Structure 1
């Protein structure tokens, strides 16, 4: 296979791995979740753009990709993320919101449970801030404030990042959903899994085998270490 085709597959794979890292960050500490969302959406779309560089370089690409393009365009969730990538890159906004769904637990009960995690000097407690996290705010000597996030571990409650509920058009059962909003992570997970399906499908269709996604991830980690 031509070296340029190898490069396209590797570059597309690196973008997919970066999107997967973004999804992973959405499950991590609150201060990484929003950045993780941006990376998952932007790099997920960049993977398909990179893959389309195979057009004109490998026989049968258009015939293989056209049904995929139509599927992505007709699926409400995938179409949303396609457009969301443009919003993220070209405006100062996104459709992501942060919040807290308490379920059957009252705010006073949550505060009572959070009290055992209160650090010395804490000023007040926030629930579902811009990062989607909850924690105690502690003033610093320079006049700034630091939020010490905690895991509330309340059954039926969810603090995190949300997207409009109409994106859950397949009526998936997603804990933490409300009438207006649905937790973002399960929807992003479905999107990234679809991107991986497309990438792996291209590898199988055109017989590209030099590297697995794990190989590409290790390659990226080596590059970051050198930097």
Structure 2
């Protein structure tokens, strides 16, 4: 799929996102200045030629794209009238903790050591969230997906000792497979030009091949 088609299908261009939220782009930039709204996950800058009946004209385009979940996050900022990073972080942390509890209630294995120094872990995830990087890793950029991705990867690393275990026994395989399946669900399917550098290729595919696993098992 062409990159532009991919972005238009799975992301919101900044202008469209602002339109959906009923705000001006200046407001979005103000939120980013306050560090309560993520930066764009993709930025496109290009020089193009515009052909029309009037002639050929050079044109400079600069577009920024955000994951679809940023509409939900923007509405939450509006609804709660959030204007400080500390308050925004509290909302982020509450949603992340709720997602972790849901995973545990569903019976998905989460290593108990994951919650050690949990406040520090949440702070780190919040800082990454603000950079926009999760918009290129998770399916929709949702806070719940971010927490699942982080907790599940930690648990996979615990079972496999950072993918250094030579072979898995039956118990480990039974424990790992549902974690791996859920992990696959929250990861984005990246565009072809990014696939080799993606978390899906560098981590999930490597895991699958090393231990002869399949998300369809």
TM-score by length of 2: 0.26
Normalized per residue, the structure richer in helix is 2
